[in-house]
Amino acid sequence: MAPDPTLRPDGRPRVVVTGVGAMTPAGPTAAATLEAVTAARPAAVPITTWDTEGHPVRFAAEITDFDPAPLVDARDARRIDRVSLLGIVAAEEALTQAGLAGAGADLADLDRSRVAVVIGSGVGGILTLEDQIEVRVTKGVKRVGPMLIPMMMANATAGLVALRHGFHGSAISVATACASATDSIGQAGDLIRSGRADVVVAGGAEASITPTAMAAFARMGALSGRNDDPAAASRPFDADRDGFVMGEGAGIVVLESAAHATRRGATVLGELAGYGSTCDAHHITAPDPDGAGAIASMQAALADAGLPPAAISHINAHGTSTPLNDAAESSAMVKVFGTDGPPVTSTKGVTGHLVGATGAVEAIIGLLAARAGLVPPVANLTTPDVDPGVDLVIGEARSIAIGPVLSNSFGFGGHNASLVLVPLDA
């Protein structure tokens, strides 16, 4: 008997991607973001949403023209933090592409109790929290808004997406700092593999370009200080890097069991084949300098996918543009892939660091780029500073054979997460 193509070799359901959506500083859709990343067009600009006078870092990768009005009316938008509005918009794009929302969607046979939502965030509604603290200090406790808690809570985006679409499966928020979205996608895949869901809307959202957050990250020494040249500030793996650029945005994927996608005739973009997640247990902010946790995460994702390192067509690295992260990840990639490894890129030279959303956006870019048979270049990379054998893509996109992509995310707390995505029907 021929093997069932909807099942993995271990008998569990295959997990496929049927929709992607992104709202980022580089573009208002997944396709627009890929185009900007492929063109190596940095999105960092001077901050416009608040007065930066006196701040050591006065720029970020903002979404300067974001308007949720087509999906959320003005009254409701005032009761939803920006982080959730970004997530709602990205989820709408992903669900529409998957045929589960928008005009023409046929949902008559969809069992909404079997549709889950897993959307992560590093800090949740920090913009609302910061605003309301100022209200309390300047106007008194009786002026604090009654919607503060539902607007600031980290699970709000997952809850609001489920509410908007009437999905009654699990609605979960994962918080593993900058690995949140990657862990969300991995955990979503596990929900499907375990038989607890047929469809999961998964990813991450973040909107933390606020005065206090920016001041705190700057005080840590984590941010680039290139106020005179924001576009050149995010420099992953470059010898002249001096920190990351804060960004905001959301990335959402629709995952389904292969059997469910086949039954409803969905277009399949790729397969979530592997997921690895580890903790350095080394330091609350600094990565293990030997990259032990990152190595284990990548190896776990490869083992879960049943693929050898040589099968990976390219790596979308975490590549934050901070000296410690880039050095540790560079070393880890060589230890996993050897000195003749696949081409490597980092999208953060364009998008900045989207914190809890970054892993989903990068997984989406990695999958779409792999489907197109290309690897985007690392923006602003002029003087590579990596271990010998790390094949960074510099200058312009590189054509490659279509194949699996590995996407890495590493976060404060020592969190490491890696995904293996295999393009299908490209």
Positions annotated as catalytic residues are 178, 318, 353
Largest CA distance in the chain: 73
What is the identity of the amino acid at 62?
E
User: Is 66:127 a contact under the CB 8 Å cutoff?
Assistant: no
Sheet holding 405-411, edge to edge: 171-172, 115-120, 199-206, 249-257, 15-23, 270-279, 415-423, 405-411, 314-316, 343-345, 391-392
- CA atoms of 392 and 375, how far apart (whole Å): 10
- Residue identified by tokens 């976060």 is 411
User: Is 238:245 a contact under the CB 8 Å cutoff?
Assistant: no
- CA atoms of 366 and 204, how far apart (whole Å): 16
User: Is 45:289 a contact under the CB 8 Å cutoff?
Assistant: no
Residues 6+ apart with CB under 8 A from 228: none
Q: Helix 82-97 to helix 156-165 angle, to the nearest 10 degrees?
A: 40
Residues 6+ apart with CB under 8 A from 13: 6, 7, 192, 193, 195, 257, 258, 259
Q: How far is CA 360 from CA 39, 84, 299, 366, 376, in A?
A: 20, 15, 20, 10, 17
- CA atoms of 314 and 426, how far apart (whole Å): 16
- What is the CA 150 to chain-centroid distance, rounded? 23
